[in-house]
Amino acid sequence: MERDPRWRQISSALQLGDIQSIFELHCHSILEKRLNLFRELVERSCSPIESFDNIWILIKDDSRVTKLLSPSQESETSEPSNGLLRRDFDRFQKERIRKANAGLEECLRENKFLQFHVRNAVQTTESAEKEGTKEAKDEDEDEEGAIAMDKVWKLINLEEIQTVLTDDKRWLEYRYFPEEREKMLKDYVTSLVESIKAEKGGTVDLTIALHAGGVINEKKHKPPKEHCDEQDSYGKRYKRDDRDRSPKRSGGSFANERRERMRYD
């Protein structure tokens, strides 16, 4: 390196410790590039559940592997003595499994057919139960609109859902864990059913109905006590001047005006 004029410029401008740090960073950059090539080889050569010992005999002569071995190790390619490749292989395989798991969860959340299929099953079950209990008059609020999970599951076709999901690469990447994949699908469907059930007649549907001008069942959706007087008296006993009165106004003067108007009415 002393023959290179750039070296003389660097050595005169930098201290030895700085030069050593730059050299180590350069070596680390080269090593990382070679490890990335090694990981690409592993990803193409084996599944995420393959062990290092099983795959080593298939890849040991590849240039992307030999470049990571010292000359003494190249003659003994049964296994690198420093364990660098084994450690990197194990870390890479764990990362592949983690990404596959995250990808499957994302796949289930984004699949429109799955969302539609489960929602349709819940709505069909709810409609059937309402038809069967429409003549009952004194039902508890907790029982009204309740949907049995087993009845919903009878309308959910997991095989059809899985067939649709095969078009998604994220679903296929988890094929090495068939039991875990099926369990994750069932768990997600269960949580989705519970979420849809919570929406039915809850705050979400009530808000949508109010903004759409729908009629709300007062027995089922009672307003808070602190607003009952104002809403009832305002609707039945007090005629508002649309231009200069608002139901949001409050205070003593507004209350007095209301009382005066009620006297004349």
* Residue pLDDT, tens place only, 135-144: 444 444 444 4
> Where residue 90 falls among pLDDT bands split at 50, 70, 90?
very high
Report which of 55, 52, 50, 48 is spatially closest to residue 96, judged by C-alpha positions.
48
Q: Which pLDDT score, from 0 to 100, does residue 21 have? A: 86
For residues 263 and 205, which has the higher predicted lDDT (pLDDT)?
263
Does the pTM of the predicted model rise above 0.85? no
> Measuring CA to CA, which residue among 105, 31, 121 is closest to residue 69?
31
Return left, alpha or beta for 213; rule: phi > 0 is left, psi -120 to 50 is alpha, else beta. Answer: left
Q: pLDDT tens digit string along 121-161?
A: 999 988 887 776 654 444 444 444 456 788 899 999 999 99
Q: Does the pLDDT of residue 23 top 70, yes or no?
A: yes
CA 63 to chain centre: 40
Phi and psi of 198, rounded to 5°?
-65, -30
